[in-house]
Chains A and B, each alone.
Chain A
Amino acid sequence: MSVSRTLSLTSKHQLWVLSQFSRLASTNAWWSNVEMGPPDAILGVTEAFKRDTNPKKINLGVGAYRSDQGKPFVLESVKKAEQLITDENLDKEYAPIGGLQEFCIASAKLAFGDNSRVIKDQLFATVQGISGTGSLRIGAAFLAKFFPGNKVVYLPNPSWGNHTPIMKHAGLDVKSYRYYDSKTCGFDFNGAKEDIEKIPENSIILFHACAHNPTGVDPRPEQWKELSSIVKRRKLLVFMDMAYQGFASGNIDDDAFAVRQFIEDKHNLILAQSYAKNMGLYGERVGAFTVVCQDKDEVDRVMSQIKILIRPLYSNPPVHGARIAAKILNQQDLRSIWLKEVKDMADRIITMRQQLADNLKKNGSSKNWQHITDQIGMFCFTGLNPQQSGRLIKDFSVYLTQDGRISMAGVTSKNNAYLANAIHEMLSNRLVRPSSSFFLSIIRCNHRTVPYPDITHPEQTIHMTETHEEKLALPLERPRFIDEYSLNGPPYGRIYEKIPFKYRVEKGRAYLYCACGWANSQPFCDGMCKRVWGNHDVRRNPKFRPIKYVADETKDVWWCNCKQAKKRPFCDGTHKLDFVQKQSAIKN
């Protein structure tokens, strides 16, 4: 001990680093320190939905269009285009690094309009990207390397969850400006204007061109015009993310209004497009990234540099989806069919919104649900808070995300009434709604209010989530442990002994396993977990709880005494690992 006290902090760290190196080198265990990553929030909702046996269950987490029968939908124009392509017997050679030329040009024309100055003077540098995400990523990489101003992107608050990782992964900083007004469930125009005025000059600002994700709240045309002039005055580079052109209002030109207005106001913007939703080409990964340039020479220079960025990412883009999209956009008959189908999809969404608002009124709801029909696109911010969303999931099998966002694509004419009824009932049911008095009662009462975490009893009535994603997708009113949302479950206690303890359990009897390592009656709890952590409010919600095990048969069980096993309370050999053996134990 005295040796380590004389070593400086740096030397001790160096020693630790060296010991880590030798440990990993000797075991060939390169990835032992890789922790389980936080699960995808949407995935958790979908997994919980799949496990639900309620026949009335509705999945409103899905970000993909569904028909009125609730089925995935392949557009007729897409099927026809695919058939034509098959008949052409094309080869599968590499696309150029920037993608199929006919697709890129058609994509730019769709966004800017055939008569735009950008198209006529050929001022667009457009490359094919891997749907919306890939196009945003190319843009972020281009900005990180070549943007001459502040490498900070200002996103609307809230924005699509993946925007921030994409920008940060490419090396850009991320900030935000006010966008959504939770009081009105609408656009916070004054807040946005105030915040944009404060953005330093020569920064990057990102807008959702139409059908804002996740709120569904879009600025009105006159508001777009004002935003355009403010942004021009602030000298900001505009990054437009257009993932729903045609899908929002049903009309591709109306949905491109913001992009075209900014072009008219002479912004040299950059644009990411996606054909996942409006052509239903989700898994084919079709998108485009465009830089609007000053002149033809700039287009050539910028294109050459974008290609150099694409090459070490994935060399060249997938051909199949782009061939379909190019055929639809360039062949007049297919294009007409497509435009009609896009309008039908948008109309179905708008009809569902209207029906939902009407049904809520019919149910007698007194709340203002106008935002359901005011908002546009696939998503709708209902205004429900996390507790309310949680109860919709648990009590009504209506699956949505914690922020109260529902995907209108999952709403059909059949489940519309049930959904409205569920929302109304959940809101009007006073018994279940948490209130401040509930929390007050916790502090006052003297007995233990936190249940033991049960782990194995087969007849238990508590619904145990099966995957960790599921567990985190179902919000609880309050955590059982301070570390409840920790991905490893209850925290690890201190090592009592480095060998397991064999004990015979009887069938049907409950045992409380000491998880903290402080009990005197190892391996069972004697209440030290409460005493050890000090003051009164921590005792109500202590860091450690004994783990309850109800034996299903009389047998010998090896109980974990090192407290580090993943299969606590049972031994799984973790005590044999180096990191346990090297530490000191209470009992030797």
Chain B
Amino acid sequence: MSVTRTLSLTSKHQLWVLSQFSRLASTNAWWSNVEMGPPDAILGVTEAFKRDTNPKKINLGVGAYRSDQGKPFVLESVKKAEQLIANENLDKEYAPIGGLQEFCVASAKLAFGDNSRVIKDQLFATVQGISGTGSLRIGAAFLAKFFPGNKVVYLPNPSWGNHTPIMKHAGLDVKSYRYYDSKTCGFDFNGAKEDIEKIPENSIILFHACAHNPTGVDPRPEQWKELSSIVKRRKLLVFMDMAYQGFASGNIDDDAFAVRQFIEDKHNLILAQSYAKNMGLYGERVGAFTVVCQDKDEVDRVMSQIKILIRPMYSNPPVHGARIAAKILNQQDLRSIWLKEVKDMADRIITMRQQLADNLKKNGSSKNWQHITDQIGMFCFTGLNPQQSGRLIKDFSVYLTQDGRISMAGVTSKNNAYLANAIHEVTK
């Protein structure tokens, strides 16, 4: 004991480290110190749902569109496109590092609009990414390496749960600005404006372009315009995350309003797109990452550096989904079918919202449920607290996340009344 007491703290630690080395070396047990990681929150909901035997159970945790029969849904335009691709007998060679060119160009046109100055002057550096997550990750890696300002991303509060790990994993710091007003279940415009004014210049600010996840609360067009001018004045780089274009309102141009407004106001923004929801290509992992540049020379330089970042991550992206998306976007008849299907999906969600609000009123609920129809997109922040959410799960077999978020995709015309009744029971 006296020996260890005379040893300094560093030496004791060194001894411990050495003993660990010899221990692991002798046992070949490299991973004995790896602890069990925290389980995924959403996955836990789905697993509990699967175990439940109640015939009236509803799964409102799922972040994927379901038909009115509650089934996964492959779009007709996607099936047609896949058939055409199969008939072409294409090879399976590597895509370029930046992905299929026809897909990237079509994706940029979809976001900015065919008549945008960005498209006309070819000021976009677009690469294919592994759906939304992969595109955000490429963006984060690019910012971590090349952003000349403060390497801090300001996320709305709350935001998609995976935003923070993506940014941190790439080496960026994460802060937030006020976004959701829990009192009104709406957009905290004044809070957002105040917080954005305080963000140091030359930082990065992230917006959900439409159908905010998880709240479903979007700024109105005039609010977007004001945000754009504040952000311009504060000299912030805008990172747009657009995962629901077309899916929110049913119209792809309306949903891209924020992105196009910012472009009009001359922001050189960066954009992550996903085709998981609006084309139902979830597992095919189709997305795109874009940097809007000053001129063609900057596009070339930025593209070369993005490719250097992609190469050690996964070399080049998967071709199958991008071929489908490119065909749909570029072939007129398929595109028309797709636009109609997107509108149908969005309309079903909006109808479910309306029915839910009506059913809640029919149940005699005295609370204000206007936010259910005010919010937009797949998710809805009901305003329930964790206790109420817990009761919904335990007593009514309605599975949702603790923050009171429900996925409207899981609501059908059949279970709508039951759901309204259940919500009314826990909130009265």
Closest Cβ of chain B to A214, distance in Å, is 16
Contacts of A250 in B (CB 8 A): none
Cβ contact within 8 Å between B268 and A94: no
B39-73 toward A: CB 8 Å interface, digit per residue (1/0)?
11000000000000000000000001000000011
Q: Taking A31-B298, A39-B304, A284-B319 as contacts, is the C-beta distance between A317 and B285 under 8 angstroms?
A: yes
Q: How many residues of A contact B (CB 8 A)?
A: 85
For residue A533, which residues in chain B have a CB less than 8 angstroms away from its CB?
Answer: none
Residue of B nearest to A317 (CB): B285
Contact of A285 among B37, B97, B294, B314 (CB under 8 A): B314
> Which residues of chain A are within 8 angstroms of B293 by Cβ–Cβ distance?
31
Which B residues are CB-close (under 8 A) to A201? 21, 25
> Which of B29, B91, B92, B280 is the most central at the interface, judged by chain A CB atoms within 10 Å of its CB?
B92
Q: Which residues of B contact A37 (CB under 8 A)?
A: 301, 304-305, 307-308
| Residues of B close to A421: CB separation below 8 A | none
Is the beta-carbon distance between A316 and B283 smaller than 8 angstroms? yes
Residues of A within 8 A of B38 (CB): 308
Contacts of B33 in A (CB 8 A): 146, 148
Q: Mark A31-61, 1 if CB is under 8 A from B, else 0.
A: 1111111111000000000000000000000
A130 within 8 A of B: yes
Q: Is the CB of A237 within 8 A of B30?
A: yes
CA distance in complex: A253, B97 (Å)? 32
Q: Are B307 and A133 in contact (CB under 8 A)?
A: no
- Across the interface, which residues of B come within 8 angstroms of A29, CB to CB? 268, 294, 298
Contact A320 B30 (CB under 8 A): no
Which A residue sits closest to B294, measured CB to CB? Answer: A29
Q: Which residues of B contact A16 (CB under 8 A)?
A: none
A185 interfacial contact with B, CB 8 Å: no
Interfacial residues, chain B to chain A (CB-CB below 8 A): 20-21, 24-25, 27-40, 64, 72-74, 78, 82, 86, 89, 91-95, 97, 130-134, 137, 146-149, 162, 165-166, 168-170, 201-202, 235, 237, 266-268, 276, 280-285, 291, 293-294, 297-298, 300-302, 304-305, 307-308, 311-321
Interface status of A266 (Cβ within 8 A of chain B): yes
Query: Given the complex, which residues of A lie within 8 Å of B169, measured CB to CB?
Result: 312-313
Tell me if A202 counts as interface (CB < 8 A to partner B).
yes
Closest to A232 in B: B28
Contact status A34-B282, CB under 8 Å: no
> Which residues between 229 and 279 of chain A lie within 8 Å of chain B, taking CB atoms?
235, 237, 266-268, 276
With a CB–CB cut-off of 8 A, which chain B residues contact A314? 130-131, 133-134, 137, 285, 314
Which residue numbers of A lie inside 8 Å of B, CB to CB?
20-21, 24-25, 27-40, 64, 72-74, 78, 82, 86, 89, 91-95, 97, 130-134, 137, 146-149, 162, 165-166, 168-170, 201-202, 235, 237, 266-268, 276, 280-285, 291, 293-294, 298, 300-302, 304-305, 307-308, 311-321, 566
Contacts of B285 in A (CB 8 A): 314, 316-318
Q: Which one of B40, B97, B304, B311 has the highest number of Cβ atoms from chain A below 10 Å of its Cβ?
A: B304
Of A86, A148, A268, A281, which one neighbours B20 at CB under 8 angstroms?
A148
Query: Quick one: given A312-B162, A314-B130, are A298 and B31 in contact (CB under 8 Å)?
Result: yes
CA of A35 to CA of B300, assembled, Å: 9
Task: Establish whether residues A130 and B130, one from each chain, have CB atoms under 8 Å apart when the complex forms.
Answer: yes
Q: Are B72 and A93 in contact (CB under 8 A)?
A: yes
Q: Interface centre among A34, A134, A201, A293, by most B CB within 10 Å?
A: A34
B312 touches A25 (CB 8 A): no
Closest chain A residue, CB of each to CB of B21: A202
Tell me, rounded to whole Å, the shortest Cβ–Cβ distance linking B287 to chain A.
9
With both chains docked as a complex, state the minimum distance between the C-beta of A203 and any C-beta of chain B, in angstroms.
11
- A134, A148, A316 — most chain B CB neighbours (10 Å): A148
Whether B313 contacts A134 by the Cβ 8 Å rule is yes
Nearest residue in B to A20 (C-beta to C-beta)? B148
Q: Note all chain A residues with C-beta closer than 8 A to B20.
A: 148
Nearest Cβ in chain A — how far from B82, in angstroms?
Answer: 7
Q: Are A312 and B166 in contact (CB under 8 A)?
A: yes
- Contact indicator A318/B314 (Cβ below 8 Å): no
Cβ contacts under 8 Å, B35 to chain A: 301, 305
Find chain A residues with CB under 8 A from B168 CB.
312
Residue among A32, A280, A307 with max Cβ neighbours from chain B (10 Å): A32
CB–CB B284/A319 < 8 A? yes
A315 to B285, CA, bound (A): 9
CB distance from B59 to the nearest CB of A (A): 13
- Considering the chains assembled together, what is the distance between the CA atoms of A34 and B73 in angstroms? 43
Is the pair A31, B294 in contact by a Cβ cutoff of 8 Å? yes
* Known contacts A30-B237, A284-B318, A320-B318, A94 near B162 by CB under 8 Å: no
Which residues of chain A have C-beta atoms less than 8 A from B301's C-beta?
31, 34-37
Nearest to A280 among chain B residues (CB) is B92
Q: Are B283 and A268 in contact (CB under 8 A)?
A: no
